[in-house]
Amino acid sequence: MSFWQIPSLPDTSRKAFGKVLINEFRLAKRVPYALGLGLGLPILLLVIFGSIPSLHQNQKDFGGISYFALAVPILLGLSVAAISFLSLPNSLVTYREQGILRRLSTTPVPPSWLLAAQLIVNLGIAVLGLLLIIVVGMAAFGLAAPKNIPGFLLAILLTITSIFAVGLWIAAVAKNNNASRTEGGLLFYMMIFFGGMWVPREIMPPVLLNISNWTPLGASVASVQNSMQGVFPSGQALLCLAIYTLIFSFLAIRYFRWE
Amino acid sequence: MSPINNQKARDDKDEAIVVSHLCKTYGPVKAVDDVSFTVKAGEIFGILGPNGAGKTTAVECMTGLRQPDSGTISLMKLDPSKDREALHAIVGVQLQSGGLQDKLKVGEILDLYQSFYQSPANGRELAIGLGLEDKLNAYYKTLSGGQKQRLSVALALVGQPKIAVLDEMTTGLDPQARRDCWELIQKIRDQGTTIILVTHFMEEAERLCDRVALIDNGRIIALDSPHGLAEEVAGGKRIIFTPSKPFKDEVLTKLPEVKTLEHRGRHVEVVGSGELVNVIVLTLSKLGIEAEDIQIETANLEDAFVKLTGHHIHQEEGVKPQ
């Protein structure tokens, strides 16, 4: 599709993409939707959970770890999910709905660049959120550092790619902003439910746990939790995240509505 | 019906835009129906017609935003459906439906669009020329409709395009802003830019365009200079006067400038073209007759359009099978 082609003007192009990107960062600061949901909300929950002493006691029900330690992978998933299901589709669908992509498609710069810039900005905020949760958790609330670093990094990488792919797919196919808000919101709550936000996976009934294992957030929480406790993530969880990444990024690119 | 088309075969080098037999259908509706025209380099070419006539669809096909069903289009020898990137580097487009991010500032937007082109104009200067000097630090969201429109014109011109396509450029502008826009367009044309001006605003077309295509129901129903259209289609000038003495009709009707002559009580009404008033006054005074209370009505583009579309409807009724 010609929208994805890059014009053959290297110097101008690099400068133009830089400008597009700078403006999207400015917008992220001026309309702090992603910052509030992806950073503010999980950090607030982290501080609340971390400040309640009883949540730091190790529990037999939770496999011998504390509720706080159990909550950290869920908050990591919450941060990524909030950005990719709520913030990312909101920006992209708005850009389509308000004719911003359309105007761009009358210039030498392809509208796909604006999408790429949005993706970079939201990824940046997601990575920042993950770092903040880990750093604040460790510095202020005695969170133990992840014990299996390669497993942790792999789990985080696949968490971001799989959840972003699903978010992009929402942005790609949503008819309008209202639809994307409904669809994104619904998926967000379903996902964080299966991630263990309300009923931790450790005490989920077997049926729910089986479903959870094959949802992006369930697989993410399982593999991040494992690697934090020193166990390399299971092949099933990593495979699950990889499948979501591949299928949904393909669908998002294939079925993106430009108008 | 065949369009009134005064075009002659021209030297290829002069042709900035060639559209031939363009068709675009949406379901049962023929939005653009066999449209052909040629625009010379440096010309301001108007596309004039009522809402829903197919102007915007034609423009979208010309700028590569829509794929025509049939027909060919060439802008500076480029095919909009195949050479998109090359085309957009030299063709500036102002659309009715193009938006911008609410929370970007006008100056930031201008800098952004300026960075897209290899040898751009100064975007901020363009905007200042369009009366946006107080708005460079304002968010796009806070602009009025007319200010957004002017920014849109500035963005279409910031790449120093060889061809500028402006769709309803002055809709929603106050008279002063409209005049600023017109001045800018004339300035840009004087620098050699070819301009396609889509409008339903007759005064704008009369004032700016070298030639105008009147479009109705997806077809070109007339194509000529605004003056030529008014004269030929709408009957040119109409002069009403009271002669000091009666005279024979043929004194005036034999003049080449005079088309018709009618008596309305004491008044005489003459329709014609060219230097009609001078010729009548001069001819009568040679016979010792004075033309008193002279009223002159000049037909304009609007008259031409009403006449053409009226004629069009009439013909459709006549064509009914039973």
What local confidence, expressed as pLDDT, does residue B4 receive?
43
What local confidence, expressed as pLDDT, does residue B8 receive?
42
Cβ atoms of B215 and B290 closer than 8 Å = no
Cβ atoms of B37 and B214 closer than 8 Å = no
CA angle, residues A81, A82, A88, in degrees to nearest 5: 95
- Nearest residue on chain A to B64, alpha-carbon basis: A106
Average pLDDT over residues B238-250: 89
Q: Is B66 touching A (CB cutoff 8 A)?
A: no
Digit-coded pLDDT (tens) for B288-302: 998 888 888 877 777
Q: Is B115 touching A (CB cutoff 8 A)?
A: yes
Domains along the sequence of chain B with CATH = 4-231 (3.40.50.300), 237-298 (3.30.70.100)
**Which residues from chain A sit within 8 angstroms of residue B63, using beta carbons?**
106
Query: Which residue reads 């003007």 in tokens?
Result: A9
Query: Which residue reads 């380099």 in tokens?
Result: B41
Digit-coded pLDDT (tens) for B124-180: 999 998 889 999 999 999 999 889 989 999 999 999 999 999 998 888 888 888 888
Cβ atoms of B105 and B137 closer than 8 Å = yes
Helices A41-51 and A112-141: crossing angle, nearest 10°? Answer: 10
Chain A residues within 8 angstroms (CB to CB) of chain B: 2, 5, 7-9, 12, 15-16, 18-20, 23, 26-27, 30-31, 95, 98-100, 102-103, 105-110
Confidence at B305, pLDDT banded by 50, 70, 90 = confident
φ and ψ at B85, to 5 degrees?
A: -65, -45
What local confidence, expressed as pLDDT, does residue B313 receive?
29
- Nearest residue on chain A to B80, alpha-carbon basis: A106
Mean pLDDT of chain B: 85
Contact between chains at A23 and B63 (C-beta distance less than 8 A): no
Digit-coded pLDDT (tens) for B111-120: 999 999 999 9
How much of chain B is helix, strand and coil, in % rounded to 5? 35, 30, 35
CB atoms within 10 A of CB A17: 18
**Which residues from chain A sit within 8 angstroms of residue B95, using beta carbons?**
99, 102-103, 106
B82 to chain A nearest CA, in Å?
A: 9
* Percent share of chain B, pLDDT over 90: 44
Contact between chains at B98 and A102 (C-beta distance less than 8 A): yes
- Tokens representing residue B72 in the block: 């060919």
Cβ atoms of B58 and B35 closer than 8 Å = yes
Q: What does DSSP assign to residue A58? A: B
CA dist B304 and B300 (Å) reads: 6
- Nearest residue on chain A to B114, alpha-carbon basis: A16
Confidence at B84, pLDDT banded by 50, 70, 90 = confident
Contact between chains at B118 and A12 (C-beta distance less than 8 A): yes
**Which residues from chain B sit within 8 angstroms of residue A96, using beta carbons?**
none
Chain-centre distance for alpha carbon A112: 20
Say yes or no to pLDDT of B320 above 70: no
Q: List the one residue out of B57, B71, B85 whose CA is nearest residue B19.
A: B71
- Closest partner residue to A27 (CB to CB) among B104, B113, B115 is B104
What local confidence, expressed as pLDDT, does residue A103 receive?
93
pLDDT tens for each residue of chain A, 259 residues long: 445 555 555 677 888 999 999 999 999 999 998 899 999 999 999 999 999 999 998 888 888 889 999 999 999 999 999 999 999 999 999 999 999 999 999 999 999 999 999 999 999 999 999 999 999 999 999 999 999 999 999 999 999 999 999 999 999 999 999 999 999 999 999 999 999 999 999 999 999 999 999 999 999 999 999 999 999 999 999 999 999 999 999 999 999 988 7
Contacts of A241 (CB under 8 A, 6+ apart): A155, A158, A159, A161, A162, A216, A219, A220, A223
What local confidence, expressed as pLDDT, does residue B172 receive?
80
A6 to chain B nearest CA, in Å?
A: 9
CA dist A193 and A186 (Å) reads: 11
Contacts of A142 (CB under 8 A, 6+ apart): A56
CA dist B81 and A2 (Å) reads: 10
Contact between chains at B93 and A100 (C-beta distance less than 8 A): no
* DSSP codes joined into one string, B93-140: EE-TT----TTSBHHHHHHHHHTTSSS---HHHHHHHTT-GGGTTSBG
3-state SS assignment for residue B67: coil
Q: Is B95 touching A (CB cutoff 8 A)?
A: yes
Query: Which residue reads 């090359």 in tokens?
Result: B86
Side-chain half-sphere CA neighbours of B90 within 13 A? 16
- Tokens representing residue A3 in the block: 């929208």
Query: Which residue reads 């077997």 in tokens?
Result: A206
Contact between chains at B118 and A9 (C-beta distance less than 8 A): yes
What local confidence, expressed as pLDDT, does residue B166 receive?
94
Q: How many CB pairs under 8 A join A and B?
A: 72
B103 to chain A nearest CA, in Å?
A: 6
CA dist B110 and B126 (Å) reads: 9
Contact between chains at A19 and B112 (C-beta distance less than 8 A): yes
Q: Is B103 touching A (CB cutoff 8 A)?
A: yes
Say yes or no to pLDDT of B321 above 60: no
Paired with A19 in beta bridges are: none
Confidence at B229, pLDDT banded by 50, 70, 90 = confident
Residues listed for chain B = 322
Q: Is B89 touching A (CB cutoff 8 A)?
A: yes
CA dist A134 and A128 (Å) reads: 10
Average pLDDT over residues B178-199: 91
3-state SS assignment for residue B143: coil
- Tokens representing residue B312 in the block: 């069009």
